[in-house]
Structures are given as C-alpha cells and as structure tokens.
Chains A and B, each alone.
Chain A
Amino acid sequence: AQTVTQSQPEMSVQEAETVTLSCTYDTSENNYYLFWYKQPPSRQMILVIRQEAYKQQNATENRFSVNFQKAAKSFSLKISDSQLGDTAMYFCAFIYSNSGYALNFGKGTSLLVTP
C-alpha cells in the first residue's frame, strides 16, 4: 500500500520568516509525481507545487520550494518570506498507482502565519 505521512499536524510562523513542512511517503514505484496543495479557509484546494520523481532538480514556484530526497522518500515544502495569506491547511499528495492518476493525500498540516 502507498502511504503519505505528514508528521506535523499544526505549525506556526511569523510573517516574513521561513517555515518547512515535512512529508514522507512510501512506494515501490520508481516513476511518480508528488504534490503540495494548499487549502485556505475558503476551502478551495489550490495546487502549490509539483515534483516529478525522475527529475533530480527540486521544484520551485516563487516563494515555495521543495526538498525532494528520493532515496529517503521525503518531500518537504519550504515557504520563504511567509505572508499572512499563506495561512492554510497544506496537503502533501502522491499519485496512486492503478487508480486513474488519483492522488493519495496526507492528513495535512495546519499552518498559521502570525503578524
């Protein structure tokens, strides 16, 4: 079975600081995709970043970057220069094998950005 684990249920960070959210996963596959989604209080699910496992270079999207360690099956999200609008639930996700490219989500990390 494939699993995604987010070990930090809640985190907080001050505005303008940097925070890292952890994610580990378990799979026997070699080629796959990993994602971080954000869910603000509006409840809308928003894609933050995507990583392809065969690419060694870590993905980056503006203030968001990942540290992808394939051998360790680790996929952490770093948010730089945190902003109040980053307050949200963050979900790490992994593509299910043999399930129509559905995503398997972790249980989420609730991030609070404080002034």
Chain B
Amino acid sequence: DAGITQSPRHKVTETGTPVTLRCHQTENHRYMYWYRQDPGHGLRLIHYSYGVKDTDKGEVSDGYSVSRSKTEDFLLTLESATSSQTSVYFCAISDSTGSGANVLTFGAGSRLTVL
C-alpha cells in the first residue's frame, strides 16, 4: 500500500457520533474511491472522486458524505454513525492513463466499530 495511507486504522465509536476517515495518497492519481467490506458482500462502492471537488455516489452512499479539497486527500464522513456502518473501509486510487490505467491500488483498510 505504498503511496496510499488510511487513518485511523481502527476506531470504536458510539451510535450517533460523527466519524471521519481519511485517505491520503502521494501518487498524484486523479481517481479516489471509498469502499466498504462486509462478510458475504465483497467490496461495495460508497463514493468516488474524479478530481478536486468532483465527487459522486456509489451503490451504498446513504449515510455517508465525502470531500476532496486537495488531490492527495479524500475524506469519508459518517455524520451520525449507526451500527449498520460497522465495517472495514478501504480507500483506493487509480490513474486513468498509462500502463496502470484502470488498476486500483488499495490502502490497508480502516476497521470501524459502531456500538
């Protein structure tokens, strides 16, 4: 996961509290993504970004918001965490050009537990 870091790696919080997960990249890639991973569901896309201040929803975006004010940072916010948002969250980056086009590189994941 060189070039992409997620923080925090582990977090326990209570229902109703806000939570922000941060994804930071040093690769200058245009595209950034947030996925969640749950048993029996694989990885599901929450939100993605195709440039600074350019974001869009994925298939499971309800209850989540994102922001990208700089190329290198993509923030995922749970405004009011619920137990159903207990999951492992992965950030990924992608370059749309060159030999690595369309290949997603993933961060190490952030495990969030909502009590």
Q: Which of A's residues lie within 8 Å of B, judged by CB?
A: 33, 35, 43-45, 47, 50, 91, 95-96, 99-108
Q: Which residue of B lies closest to A46 (CB)?
A: B106
* The residue from A43, A50, A96, A106 contacting B109, defined by CB atoms under 8 A apart: A43
A91 to B92, CA, bound (A): 15
Number of A-B residue pairs with CB-CB distance less than 8 Å in the complex they form: 57
Please tell me if the beta carbons of B48 and A102 are within 8 angstroms of each other in the complex.
Answer: yes
Smallest CB–CB gap between B57 and chain A, Å?
A: 9
Among A33, A102, A108, max chain B CB count under 10 A is at A102
A47 to B103, CA, bound (A): 8
A96 to B1, CA, bound (A): 23
A108 to B43, CA, bound (A): 9
Chain B residues 85 to 105 lying within 8 A of chain A, measured CB to CB, are 88, 90, 92, 94, 96, 102-105
* The residue from A35, A47, A50, A99 contacting B58, defined by CB atoms under 8 A apart: A99
Question: Could you say which residues of chain B place their CB within 8 Å of the CB of A44?
Answer: 1, 106, 108-109
Q: Which of B's residues lie within 8 Å of A, judged by CB?
A: 1, 31, 33, 35, 40-45, 48-50, 56, 58, 88, 90, 92, 94, 96, 102-106, 108-109
A47 to B92, CA, bound (A): 12
Smallest CB–CB gap between A8 and chain B, Å?
A: 13
Smallest CB–CB gap between A66 and chain B, Å?
A: 15
Question: Could you say which residues of chain A place their CB within 8 Å of the CB of B92?
Answer: 45, 103
* The residue from B48, B49, B103 contacting A50, defined by CB atoms under 8 A apart: B103
Question: Could you say which residues of chain B place their CB within 8 Å of the CB of A95?
Answer: 102
The 8 closest A-B pairs by CB, nearest first: A45-B106, A105-B42, A107-B42, A105-B43, A100-B50, A100-B48, A33-B102, A102-B45
A99 to B54, CA, bound (A): 12
A95 to B33, CA, bound (A): 13
* The residue from B31, B43, B105 contacting A100, defined by CB atoms under 8 A apart: B31
